[in-house]
Amino acid sequence: MTPHIAVPPHTGSSPLRRLVVLRHAKSAYPDDLPDHERPLAARGRRDAPVAGRLLAEADCLPDLALCSTAVRARQTWDLACAQWGTPPPVRHDRRLYAAGVADLLAVVQEVSPEVATLLLVGHNPGLEELVLALAGDGLGDLLEEVGAKFPTAAAAVLAWHGPGWRDLTPGTARLTDVMVARGRKD
């Protein structure tokens, strides 16, 4: 998918902020492993670096990343950020594992206002529902695209103007881009 450039219209003196929501790449399903411990599948190991490159090409590199503690999310983060010159700080937060919209938003709202672009690495259905809840509108048919399917290794970019992350609430952002990473099959 081609990155979109448009951002929400500027209203007042609040800075532009972006929330980049990245669903972990495709995971494996080994026997006798708890869900939290499932690693990436071969396809996930191919797709996660592509997600990192797509974010760099779209100029969506974060100032801070919040990542679920699940193995597949941490591996997605490690492979994606390895594509960047200097990765930003990352906080691994157990609250992001299997979280719903309210819990995800609460974690995001704790972020310092100095962070302009925040990356959230986690899981569905919570991430898809968060994107749909926060987006008051979207460019083209992006909202319908996310509502139909937010696959593994997909990233959604939400843009909004606000003084701090605590001010991000449902319906206040614009969905400006959706990227789906697919790596080359060996």
pLDDT of residue 13: 65
Work out the average pLDDT over 20-45: 96
CATH number of 16-180: 3.40.50.1240
Domain residue spans of the chain: 16-180
Phi, psi (rounded to 5 degrees) for 37: -95, 0
Q: pLDDT (tens digit, 9 = 90+) per residue, 148-179?
A: 889 999 999 999 999 999 999 999 999 999 99
The per-residue pLDDT for 40 is 98
Helix, strand, coil abundance in the chain, percent, nearest 5:
35, 25, 45
* Confidence (pTM): 0.90
Instruction: Average the pLDDT over 79-98 and give the result.
Output: 96
Token pair listed for 156:
């959604």
Task: State the amino acid at position 101 in one-letter form.
Answer: V
For the cut 50, the answer to whether the pLDDT of residue 183 exceeds it is yes
Residue 4 has pLDDT above 50, yes or no: no
Residue with tokens 């992001």, as numbered in its chain: 96
Q: Look at residue 145 and tell me whether its pLDDT is greater than 90.
A: no
